[in-house]
Structure 1
C-alpha cells in the first residue's frame, strides 16, 4: 500500500456530496453531511480494511469532521470545476447518443455516472454506464444528460 497523499493540517476539497453511511452520530443514515466542493482540513489519517486510506477531515463551514476516502478528495488548490452530477448518480440521456451515425443510447435512456471528468476540454463530462448498453461505458458531455428524475415518463407498449 502506498503512503497517504495528504498530511495533518493540509486543506482538501471533497469532490462529491457526502452522506451519513450510518457511522456519523446523531443523524439518520443517508442524511447529507458535506456538499461537494467544500474545503476542510485533514485532522487524522487511518486505514480501513488494511488497504484503504481514510482521512478525517474537519469541514469548518459545516462544523463536522467526516471520514473521507482518498478518491473523494483533491487538494484545496487543485483545479475544481463544479459539475451537475456526481459519482453513482442516476442520469438519463437528454438526446439520442450516437457514434459514427449508429445510435447507441436512445433519448431518455437511464444510466449511472461511474466517473466525473472535471478536466474535459469542453467542461465537465461523465463516464456513464447506461442500462441499455451493458458492459460498455461512454464519456458524455454534461449538456447531453439530465437528472433521471427529470426524465419524462415513458409509456410501455406490448
Structure 2
C-alpha cells in the first residue's frame, strides 16, 4: 500500500457521486450523499481491508462526513469542469437530435445519462440512453432536466 496522497486538513474535491453503500447511518442504501464536484476537508485517513486507503472527508456545505477512496478525490485547487447532469440523471432532449440528417430523437423525449464527458474541447457532453438500445453523445445545451412533476428545465 502506498503513502496517502492527501493529509489531514487538505481540501479535496470528489470526482464521482458518492452514494450510501449501507454504511452511512439514517439513510437508505443508494441514496446520494455527496454530489460530484463538492469540496470537503480531509478529517482522517485510514484503511479498509488493509489494502485500500479511505479518507474521511467532511463536506461543510452538506454537513456530512463520508469515507472516500483515493481515486474518488482530487485536490480542490485542480481544474474542474462542472456539469449540469451526472450519471443516472434523467434528462430530456430540448431539441430534435439527428444522425446523418435523419431525426432519431424528437424534442421532448426522455433519456438517462450513461456517462459524462468533461474534457472535450467543445464543452461538456453526455452519453444518453434514449431507450430501444439508442445511445447518443449529446452536448449539454441540447438537454434539460426532468423534475418530479415532469416539467422540463432548460439545460442552457
Residue by residue over 1:59-103, the C-alpha shift from the partner in whole angstroms, topping out at 9 and shown as x without a partner, is 244443212355643331222122211111111211211122022
Is this contact kept in 2: 1:92–1:151, CA < 8 A? Answer: no
Could you state the TM-score of these two structures normalised by the residue count of structure 1?
A: 0.69
Could you state the TM-score of these two structures normalised by the residue count of structure 2?
A: 0.70
Structure 1's 100 and 119: CA in aligned 2 closer, same or farther, altered over 3 A? Answer: same
Distance 2:60 2:5 in 1: 18
Deviates more, 1:121-130 or 1:56-65: 56-65
The unaligned stretches of length 5 or more in structure 1 are 153-158
Aligned-residue offset at 1:121: 2.2
Residue by residue over 1:123-152, the C-alpha shift from the partner in whole angstroms, topping out at 9 and shown as x without a partner, is 3211212214x0x53221111111133457
Is this contact kept in 2: 1:91–1:110, CA < 8 A? Answer: yes
Q: Is 1:79 matched with 2:75?
A: no
Name the residue aligned to 2:129.
129
Distance 1:99 1:51 in 2: 47
Superposition map of 1:8-157 within 5 A: 8-9=7-8, 10-25=10-25, 27-29=26-28, 33-42=33-42, 43-47=44-48, 54-69=54-69, 72-132=72-132, 134=133, 136-149=134-147, 150=150
Number of residue equivalences: 147
Distance 1:102 1:53 in 2: 50
Structure 1's 7 and 70: CA in aligned 2 closer, same or farther, altered over 3 A? Answer: closer
Structure 1's 4 and 111: CA in aligned 2 closer, same or farther, altered over 3 A? Answer: farther
Aligned-residue offset at 1:17: 4.8
